[in-house]
Amino acid sequence: MTRLPHRIPILPVLANVATARARDRARPERIAELQARLLTQLVRHAAATVPHYREVYDPAVVAEFQGPQDLSRLPLLDRATVNALGPSGGLLAAGHTAESTRMASTSGSTGHPATFYYSEQDLGYLRATFLWDLLACGMRPWDRVGYFRVYGFRKHRLERLGLAGNVHVDTSKSIAEQADAVLAGRPTILWGFPSMIAAVGAELRRRGIRYPHARVIVFAGESTLIGGRTEALEYFGATAHETYASVEAYTIARTCSRGNMHLRSGDVVVEVIRDDGSVTLADGVGEIVVTRLHAEANPLIRYRLGDRVEITPNDCDCGTSHMPILRSVLGRVEDRIETKDGVLRNGNFIASLIYPLSREGRLLRIQMVQERPGELRLLAVATDGAEAEVERQLRAAIAPAASQFDLDVAMVDTIAPEPNGKIRLVKRL
């Protein structure tokens, strides 16, 4: 049996950082060549060594496969299939087992968490991409990173030297306990859910505590419509960055110096399933589909991540990234609401009406709650003193949906997160 290291091996990570940086900043022609080569290798590796793909892939398609343009000839993979197959049911490549790989599970915000597996070779590069994200967001070697998440990361040897410290802020605990963890660990970089970081800032403010240590906040893990970013930045006085990442794919996009979230196309191939059923490569509004290019043990090819996104061509002048831009994460595919006529619509229908207001800074977060078909209550949190005006704007913004829903707006002080720390955009009771 392969013995897994107790601590994170540092040398493979450091050896791959330069590669991660180069791919993040590569020109489109270089990315096209890289995607074609790595994706072709991955598809052939999966077809040859992974039982599930060997069963569902057409050998002729695999033999002819040359790159992203051929992805539509392969079947999609979804979470239900991953869960049905299980760790020994056909998604692990030959030579890998659940015991010889690292396991990671999704947060379960949908109620159906999924588990995925990584070889140490996979992780040597993936951890390097994560480290590069931190460096690109301004991390210094002596910074301590506070991760707002349910499960903590394993330690690494450099922490003994006071380098790249790891502070776990458990989002399954109360806000007061999370605030205590921040005070005890004194992180200088905060990484995680905007709503949780904002809530901790509000708790520290309530206690009369000024927290001077945070230099950078990297927001991640929640729809851009949920809010919390303005509050967090106002309290902590930090520089903002944002990543779009997942357990399945690691980093998919990260903000540049101009605040635009560029796709990490050197590491992940992105497709978009539009509402009319057509599929595009990294363009349009619809359901995102990802293929992580470094996946030796547990390849996920054309995986339906479950998010709705808006992606546009690159028009940014930052000069460091040349990839398409993720404009917004619009919510989950399963965020469905039922109209008076019994038609199921995605919550993005309402969210798109509200989105312009969220950019003004006074609307902090929202949640759509549906207790009965045809009824929809919008919970909203606004900045102090702006509640009446925000409520008026919200009612005007969602008026076009009045023919399909009996609508109500409720201004509230807080919106309760789920056990994993996230706030759901749509909640059907």
Q: What is the pLDDT of residues 62-98, one digit of tens each?
A: 999 999 999 999 999 998 898 888 766 689 999 888 8
Nearest CA to 127 among 253, 259, 14, 218? 14
Find the Cα–Cα–Cα–Cα dihedral 86, 89, 90, 93, rounded to 10°: 80
Q: What is the pLDDT of residues 117-155, one digit of tens each?
A: 888 889 889 989 999 999 999 999 999 999 998 877 777
- The torsion angles phi and psi of 252, rounded to 5 degrees, stand at -100, -35
Q: What is the pLDDT of residue 41?
A: 98
175, 155 Cβ separation under 8 angstroms: no
240, 246 Cβ separation under 8 angstroms: no
327, 312 Cβ separation under 8 angstroms: yes
Report helix, strand or coil for 207. Answer: coil
Q: What is the pLDDT of residue 287?
A: 93
User: End-to-end CA distance of the chain, in Å?
Assistant: 47
Rounded Cα distance between 338 and 291, Å, is 32
Q: What is the pLDDT of residue 1?
A: 43
Q: What is the pLDDT of residue 88?
A: 63
Enumerate residue ranges in the chain where pLDDT < 50.
Answer: 1
Rounded Cα distance between 393 and 380, Å, is 11
Q: What is the pLDDT of residue 111?
A: 52
Q: What is the pLDDT of residue 354?
A: 83
Q: What is the pLDDT of residue 87?
A: 62
Q: What is the DSSP string of 50-70?
A: -HHHHHHS-HHHHHH--SGGG
- Quote the tokens at residue 228: 């919390």
- Quote the tokens at residue 23: 């791919």
310, 327 Cβ separation under 8 angstroms: yes
Angle at 8 between CA 43 and CA 45, to 5 degrees: 10
Cα separations in angstroms, 291 against 249, 270, 287: 7, 7, 14
Q: What is the pLDDT of residue 157?
A: 74
Cβ neighbours of residue 294 under 8 Å, at least 6 residues apart? 38, 122, 125, 126, 267
Element (H, E) at 320: none
Report helix, strand or coil for 319. Answer: coil
